[in-house]
Structures are given as structure tokens and as C-alpha cells.
Structure 1
């Protein structure tokens, strides 16, 4: 008990069935406001998954909810007007099909926990509904307090839910939301030989996934300094000679050399990586596939798509948002399944058949939908195969795409992977506290992504550790990590800096610790880098490779 219950399942069609044991749940106004605020701050939708998460939390805490209502009605403290209030489009009404989703396994797990807590058979609809509402409300009260304690920062809140003991546990009431499983007889440590210490000549080794360590890696340097060679060499060394490999998902952004050139053949062979050349083969997932196809889920997917599109295509205007959302929602409704980009483009033609009206209302949005349809970035949504990215290593060659589509392909992939990641149990620990790494995501030319300020990447960095996901960012300079709303530096564990230009010395000092002379960084010799290991606040001079 006390685990963060999975909140996403998989389905490729609208699937409705009568749930006999649960009536519609009516959340209080305070609970609705909590759900709305947290969903907006974390950008994790649909709203009802937070109600399910709250249920999972409450069921894992000792004692019964202290506000068990006698009937399932809106709270008596809510006025008739308040009971009708829609907060950001969320009415607080949770119907059985929406709340449980299409996967009956989740429903059965929750009901088993509820019966275990009550110590009796539960058959009466009103009793079951009242109990579930009481637990959801209690869980949301905790979420509200924790969210406020963390300054209403969504990334910190998600990390708190995944890794910190619950506040109830501190009061002696129960255990943490996400429990870690410790496995004996295994070694999950991920060690990397970085190179040699310039002063001593001794090998420099680090472990990226120790207790309390961020497993993420940042490697910076100007073009030609060997940052890609170094970073990908580290990935190969992690897997060299290992029977149980760590899967790597590598996005080759600029030149296609990682995917094709002889310089990286040893990396490809060591990782046993499959190369996906997006010019000839789509990315094997459907970005519009949803855990369920409720009206709320479709709405949230439509807005999420607009957010990603706008972050990489600045020519789009805010006034086009409503049109984009309408097209996406219409496509879902007409098809009864996840649409493809071709479906979206054809739906735009159907909704706005007059070319003059279409050009006037949609403008560049229509041409961008057409471009996405033409390039066939992702597999057809009628292909029900799940993606293979946790099973082996993949290199996705984006180099032949226009720049905006390269970014869109990466962010749409991450948008699809993140909720899937959150639904998984924490990655297990070995007896020495090393957490299993299930996947490493590597982004070459990462400055191209960081400047977009897309929230999904920040979420991976803040919440991926407990789920066993590490991120490697290969970028031009430390300045790239210091963005207005997110300082990515704070999330990185291992940091390696080759020769580069430093426009903001403060960013370099935060990256490596202590006062750093920008001129010293700009004049580093080939193969020499400044490195700061996870948990250290003092850089060392590292010879990463021999000229």
C-alpha cells in the first residue's frame, strides 16, 4: 500500500461500458480548485488522473478519512451556485468510465485496496461511491497543502509525490506515496570512466545513479571539441560487455553522423542500436494515442498539441489556438480513435471547406498541418504496436527534416513518453542504493531544444530519476542551460565543459562551482575539459580524449 497507483492505460478505440459499482462522484469546490491548479502547473492532464492519484495516496495512509459523507452529494458547505461552478472547464463530476478508464485492471486494484481497508465486502453503490469520494477528497487536501508548501511549483510537486515520504507518514499515519523496492543479488550501479585527471594522470571514474544523485549528464563545447564523441562514448562504455544493456534513445539532430558515419560505428555496434532514418521510416509511436478517449482527455490532448506546436513554430499566433484545438477535437470525434497528421489536415479541409475562409482563419496553421502530414513523422495510429524504446537502443536521425519539424518530432515523442513514465512503478534499488536506469535519452545539439522552453523536457529532468530515466544533453555552452523560467543546470549531475564561449559567467559558475575565468574556458586545449562530478562543488581538469 502507499504506492502511486498507475493512472494511464492503453487503448486504441473509444470503449464505454456500464460500471455498476460506482455512481458519478461530485467533488467539492476546494477539491476542484486543487485539481485545476495542479494540472495547470504540472501540465499533466486529464484532470481526473489527479483524483485517481489522490485516491491512491489516501488508500495508502493509515486511518479512515475524517470527512466521510453520508451521501455522495456536493459538500454541504458549497452553495448551490458554487456547486455549479466550472473551474477552468473542470466541473468536478467524475463518471465511472472517466474515473476508472478503459483498463479494468486499475479498477479491480483500487476496489481490492478499498475492501482491504474496510475489512468487508462492498456491494452497495452509494457506500462505494461515498467511500471513494472521501478518500479522493482527503488525498486532494494533502496535495493542496504540499503544493502550497513547495511554492506552487509543479515540477517540485511531482518530484515530492514520487520521492518524499508523505506528510501523513511523518505524523505516524502511514508510508510514502511511492515506495522503493530493494532487490538483492543485483548491481544496478552505472559507472563511467571519464578520462584522466590532468594533474595526477589517474583515471577518473564516476557513478551517475547513486543515492541522492541526479543521473542526468550535461556535456558542452563548441563545434569540433568532441562533445558528441565524448558523450556517446560514455553511453557505449556503460553498455560495453554487459549482458543486460541500458536502452538508449538518441536523437541525431544536425548532421546524421551519429546514425551513419564511421566515427560512431563502434558506438552503434556496442549499443546494438537500431537506426531509424525518419526520411524513410517513421518513429514507432502515435503521438495522439490516449489512455482513454473521454471528452476531457481529447480536449487536453488538443491543447497539449497546440502548446508543443507553438513552442517550435513561433510564426503561429495565439489567435490560431482555438482553431487548432477545434480541428483536433473534431478529428477525434469523427474517427473515434487517435488521428494522424493526415487526418488533422483533412479535418481542417472539412471544417473550413472554402479556401478563402480557410486562409483567412487558419493562416500558417493550415500550411504547418499540411507539412506535418507530408513528412509522416510517426507511425499510423491504426498500428497498435507499442513503442520499443524500453527494450533496446535506438538512434533517430532527424537531420533531413526542416529545423522546426526536428524539434516537433522530439517534443511530440517526449510528450507521449512522459505520462507513460509516470504510470510506472519506481525503478528498483539494489542493496547499495543504486537505482536501476531503464532508459537514457540523449539529445545532441540540445541548445536547439532548450531555447524552446518546452515544459516536457524539464519534467523529465525533475521527475525521471525515480522512474529510472536519465537524460544526456550535448550543447554548445553553459549559457544554454540558464533559461528564463527553468534553470536546467540545477537538475544535472555530471557536467563536462570543453572549450566554449561564455557570455554569462554566472551560468558557468553555477554549472561548475566556484569562480571560473571565462577566458580559461575559451582557451582549453583539444581533449581537455572542466568536469564537475555529481555531488561535488569543485571542478577538475579532465583529459577526456587524446588529440
Structure 2
């Protein structure tokens, strides 16, 4: 169904209030906007609004409706106003009413802030008075149920007993992130596939996003079928994502986004300070050129053109060269190309990076940044009776290519992703990959599978496994003796406590042939 909601532009006064409230509350602009709309509907009901200037910020209708998948705007306004506002001929009316309630809701929030004495707790208490007991009862009634997830990880070498893992049990593990390390050919990829098949298979409900460095996952037909996954290969077709589509298009939001994009570029491409500044300005300029147009966001071609115009010398440099390759190779969809309403990672997805050579890291960093901020906008994942809701599994194969760089977004995903329901799986060849000069990823990983390694440093074992040097010495010998398919599994059995087992790790080719 086509959404009848058109461009929602606030008044200039409302824009200033929105910027002030985002700073005051720490909420994003689109979150403040939804709060304002709902507050105004509750206070004013079927109010008819006179026209106000529309010179403020533009709220992205796709953000209001979760990319068109949630018709709450049409449904709520139709209910309040007693007529069907979802039909195309009511588009202008619906847009006018949304704009009016957005403006007046922001005015109400400003009054509440002024009356709070600048105290956030007093401001929130004032808002909470509009939430009734009935609302809370309905919220509890429709709260999703969180189920425990139990994985079969292998067989204990000593006892031959079946070994299972309560993956999302928060009483045993404060973090769901997983590290898998081992020499090539010893079973780490087979274990990773087996875990993903159990977590994200056709019968499961947790989607996964796999960054496939060498094509080992995308070319495995059995694995792709077991997940019913879509395989995206940017070498052949543009990735179906508009990276520049934002929740709103205020000046502050665009500047923050430009800084984020520059940060992701800098992690993958060596850039001087002047190049970093020019890239930020080029992104901002590309957005400015889209003001008043549809869609309100640019694409990489427009950013590349803006970057070229801002270059004083006019000569090609690292940044302009990378931008040119992104455009020439059509790695991402342009702004005029239609993409699915739901996020590309809402279903099991494998990104085949094997043919991208020098641009693999950049594509990964840009997508991780997008996923991180999109998932953060959904709020905290639920925890029920010790089980945490899982919303997305992110798997990075050959992760040493990303761990060796100072990658801020990967650090944020590992530090904060758990609270959003994200689990990150990192598969690499050496233990030292889990820590570099700037970021110690080993502190953020609680679940570790170690196959035979070419080199084992006790210092790495003590950091990653939280053991004494004496224990690390014994584990070092154990790891050197491991046979193909065997691994040392270190996992929490309670907050602060750990246990170690030598197991015959589950292999994907066995998983698909048995009833787990």
C-alpha cells in the first residue's frame, strides 16, 4: 500500500524547540517528533490547524513508519479524526494534520521543559502524567515473550557427553559475543556455520548478517539453503540500501551523520585532516543541494561531485579516488533506485565480499555503522526471567582484516550491541587479532572457541580467557595438542566464573544431517 503521508516540514519555531529538546533529553530528533505527535493527539484530539510556516526541519515519513512497514500514523489519525486518512486522496489532509500536531506537540513539550526548571527528571515526570494505567496494561499484554536458546556445540572429548550452551542466559554470561580462533582447515568455519544454522536457520527467529570475506559462505549451497538466506554481491549488483536516508534532515543530524561517515572512511582509508574535513563538508553540501527535493537525501555520485567541487587543486587524491570507485562500481543503490521497505538485514543475509579486493573493509565499516545506529534506534532488547531477546547475529569471517584497524563502530557494537539484542561472532586465525594498540576486543568477548593455533602467547590467553599465567601455560600445551575438529571451549557458567572443556566441535556438515 502506498503511504499517503507527504513531506512533513515543521515551523521555524518548532525546529528550534526540537533541536533544544534533543540536546536536553538525549533523544534523536525523530524520537522527539513521535513523542510530540502523540502528546498533541492526546491533548488536542480532533483539532483543525491553521497554516504555519514550513521553513523548519523535514521529518522523514519513512522514519515515522519504520520504512513503510508500520501504518500507525494512518491508523491513529484515522481513529482520532473518525475517517479513513489512509487513502491517496487524503494525502494532503493527513500531511497537514501530522504537521500541525508535530508543531503543537513540540510547543507543549517546550512548556513542560520551561516548567521543569531545567531538570530532566521533572520534565519526564510531567510527560508521564499522560500515560494512563490502561496504556500500561496494554503494553504488558502485548510484550513479546523471550525464549531461551540452547545450542549444541559438540561432544566432550573426555566423557563423550553431549555439550549444550544456553546462549542467551544473562545469569551466566553478561555478553553474547563469540570469538573463534584457529589455523586454517581445523574446523573454525564449520563450527561458525553450525552455530549460525542453529541460531538463524529456517525454524529459528533470529536473523543473521554474515560478512563473507572469501566467499566460503556464499558458495556453500547447503548453508545458504539451511538459512534461506539472500546473498548480496556488490560486485554484481548494488547493495539495496540508501545509506544517506536519515531519520530527519535537520542541520545538526546531517552534521553528525557526516562526522560518522568520515569516521568509517578513516578506519579503512588513510586520510589527512584536510581530506577528512573536505569529505564531511562534501556530504553536508550534497544534502544541502537536495533540500526541497524528493528524495531529501543524496547518493554517492552527488557526494563525489560535491567533493570534487570543494577540492582546491582539482587533482585526484585518495578520497576522490575511493568515491570514484564506489560510484563507478555501483556498490550501493543510488537515490532514485527503489529498495525494500524493511532493512536489508531483517532476513538472513550473506554479503559476499570476495571480489571487492581493496574495498572490502570500507563496505563492511559503512554497513556496520548503518546497522549499529538503526538497531540502537529500536531501544533496549527485552530481558525476561534471565533470558535476553536476540534481534540480530553479526558474523565476521576472517575478522583479522577488521580487528587490526582502529574501527570505532566495531568497538561500539561489541560494547553496546548486547543491550540492543545484537551478538557479534568473530572468526580469525590468531589470538593476538583480538587486541591492537587502541582497542582491546578481548575484554568484550565472553565466549571463546580455540582450535589449534600456529602460535599461542600466554599473555593473549590470560587476557582473552581471564586466567592466571600458570593456567595459561597448561592451556598453551593443550591447544598445541588439539586435533582437527577439536577445540578448547571457554565460556561463563555464572557471572565472574568460567569453565573450560576440550570438545569435538560441532561441524555444519553434521548439523544438516541430524535433528538437533
TM (norm. structure 2) is 0.72
Equivalence map 1:427-442=2 (5 Å): 427-430=381-384, 432-442=385-395
Equivalence map 1:117-516=2 (5 Å): 128-133=109-114, 137-139=118-120, 188-212=147-171, 213=173, 214-239=175-200, 242=203, 244-253=204-213, 255-260=214-219, 264-314=220-270, 316-336=271-291, 337-352=296-311, 357-359=313-315, 363-382=317-336, 383=338, 385-403=340-358, 405-430=359-384, 432-502=385-455, 504-514=457-467, 515-516=471-472
Any idea what SS the aligned residue of 1:395 has?
strand
Q: CA deviation at 1:367?
A: 1.1
In the alignment, which residue of structure 2 is the partner of 1:537? 498
Residues 386 and 51 of structure 1, relative CA distance in 2, 3 Å threshold: closer
Which whole-Å deviations, capped at 9, do the CAs of 1:166-203 have from their partners, x for residues lacking one? 9xxxxxxxxxxxxx979899562221111111111111
Q: CA deviation at 1:325?
A: 1.6
Equivalence map 1:21-100=2 (5 Å): 24=17, 49=29, 52=32, 97=56
Q: CA deviation at 1:375?
A: 2.0
Any idea what SS the aligned residue of 2:437 has?
coil
Residues 399 and 51 of structure 1, relative CA distance in 2, 3 Å threshold: closer
Q: Please identify, of 515-524 and 410-419, the stretch whose mean Cα deviation from structure 2 is larger.
A: 515-524
CA distance in 2, matches of 1:48, 1:462: 20
Q: CA deviation at 1:135?
A: 5.3
CA distance in 2, matches of 1:267, 1:502: 30
Q: Is the 8 A contact 1:498 1:524 kept in 2?
A: yes
Any idea what SS the aligned residue of 1:533 has?
strand
Any idea what SS the aligned residue of 1:219 has?
strand
Q: Is the 8 A contact 1:259 1:395 kept in 2?
A: yes
CA distance in 1, matches of 2:142, 2:64: 29
CA distance in 1, matches of 2:247, 2:490: 41
CA distance in 2, matches of 1:294, 1:302: 12
Any idea what SS the aligned residue of 2:314 has?
helix
Which whole-Å deviations, capped at 9, do the CAs of 1:309-355 have from their partners, x for residues lacking one? 111012x2222122212221111111333222222222334444x8x
Q: Is the 8 A contact 1:282 1:377 kept in 2?
A: yes
In the alignment, which residue of structure 1 is the partner of 2:87? none
Q: Output the aligned Cα RMSD.
A: 4.3
Which whole-Å deviations, capped at 9, do the CAs of 1:362-399 have from their partners, x for residues lacking one? 62221111112122222222335334445321111011
Residues 501 and 125 of structure 1, relative CA distance in 2, 3 Å threshold: closer
CA distance in 2, matches of 1:417, 1:332: 21
CA distance in 1, matches of 2:19, 2:201: 55
Stretches of structure 2 that go unaligned for 5 or more consecutive residues are 40-53, 67-71, 74-102, 126-138, 511-516
CA distance in 2, matches of 1:476, 1:520: 17
Residues 510 and 409 of structure 1, relative CA distance in 2, 3 Å threshold: same
- Count of matched residue pairs: 433
Q: Is the 8 A contact 2:17 2:106 kept in 1?
A: no
TM (norm. structure 1) is 0.68
Q: CA deviation at 1:127?
A: 6.5
Residues 417 and 520 of structure 1, relative CA distance in 2, 3 Å threshold: same
Any idea what SS the aligned residue of 1:192 has?
strand
